[in-house]
Amino acid sequence: MHFDNIQIKIRERGFLDLMDLGLQVFRVHLPRFLLAFACGAVPLQILNHFWFRDLVVVDFREGIVAANETSRLIGFILCVGQMIFIESQLAGIIATKYLGLVLFQEEPRIRPVLREVGRAGWRLLWCQGLTRGVVVAGVLASWSRSSNWSFVWLGLLTCLVVLVRALRPFLNEIVLLENNPLLATKSQSLTIGRRSYRLHAPSSGMLLGRWFCSALIGIALAISVAGIFLFVSGVLFQQWFPGPFLIQIGVPLAMWIVAAYLTVVRFLNYLDLRIRDEGWEVELRMRSEAARLEQQMTPRLPIPAGSEVNELNRVS
């Protein structure tokens, strides 16, 4: 890695500056970043559609939906929104690794990113699939097809995940970018749990405030993007009433777009936290100088007298 060739200027930033920088990073790296994010989001959204599609089986022909059908549509939006919130960090693991690589490179390819993520597969399955409630949410979503109690338990699980994610948001970055082990070994005693505590605990108040602000902005952005989809549908197809396609596809797509943007913002918040609490920019400068000194002190091997390089130099 080229520690002295950083794509993002390393310095402390305020929350609004990070949101603005997130938009710029999102725009510059849009195609490959969305491809990386879609690798995780598309399979999860297919499962979400399969679990909750019965809630949107209503009559849209008259343009007026009955009161009981309206409650079902609202229930569909809430359930899908909760699932996307719970699944968003799992869906963003490839995108997070891509951002970690693009910080030091121009444009990393997707295949090497996938290989790097695959090496941390078991740690990610445990940290994101089990401890962050994704597997439990999937079980509750599949149970919802036979019992209404699952919606209550899904809401309670979402509240628990909100608390955990607000206080410990940077689990993906710790697993993928710092490569801490899941269990302590003789050579590496700093596990994922200990590293997470050291990183998050000193700044828990700031993290909670930033998470709350980003959640409010994320909800407003999701509503705005869904409104844009409805406006385009009305202009192009004269359908100003939300139809089945907009509700089943457009609303979840708007949520996933906002989740992708907030993945960038979370990554930038992770960098900002390391700069504030750990002096990460100083560490990068020291690593850069160490790499430069290592290159200067590397002994150059003498070229044999009869080598082709010597002959070419003599001719020239």
pLDDT of residue 296: 64
pLDDT of residue 181: 85
pLDDT of residue 70: 76
Length of the chain: 316
Nearest to 135 by CA among 266, 306, 143: 143
Average pLDDT over residues 280-295: 61
Nearest to 162 by CA among 94, 96, 218: 218
pLDDT of residue 39: 92
Residue 209 CA to residue 15 CA, distance in Å, equals 10
Average pLDDT over residues 281-304: 58
Model confidence, pTM = 0.85
Q: Are the C-beta atoms of 133 and 88 separated by less than 8 Å?
A: no
Q: How confident is the model at residue 307 (pLDDT cuts 50, 70, 90)?
A: very low
DSSP conformation class of 126: I
pLDDT reading at 19 higher than 90: yes
pLDDT of residue 225: 95
Q: What are phi and psi of 211, to 5 degrees?
A: -65, -40
pLDDT of residue 164: 92
pLDDT of residue 269: 93
CA distances from 166 to 79, 143, 180, 206, 214 (A): 20, 27, 21, 10, 10
Q: Are the C-beta atoms of 53 and 248 separated by less than 8 Å?
A: yes
User: Where is pLDDT greater, at 281 or 234?
Assistant: 234
The total of other beta-carbon atoms located within 10 Å of residue 137's CB is 22
Q: Are the C-beta atoms of 224 and 191 separated by less than 8 Å?
A: no
Residue % of the chain over a pLDDT of 70? 80
Q: How confident is the model at residue 6 (pLDDT cuts 50, 70, 90)?
A: low
pLDDT of residue 264: 94
User: Where is pLDDT greater, at 85 or 286?
Assistant: 85
pLDDT of residue 300: 52
pLDDT of residue 297: 67
Average pLDDT over residues 202-226: 93
Question: pLDDT of 148-184, one tens digit each?
Answer: 888 899 999 999 999 999 999 999 999 998 888 888 7
Q: What is the mean pLDDT of the chain?
A: 82
pLDDT of residue 61: 58
DSSP conformation class of 267: H
pLDDT of residue 200: 92
Query: What letters, b where the CB count within 10 A reaches 16 and e where it falls short, cover 123-134?
Result: bbeebbeeebbb
pLDDT of residue 315: 32
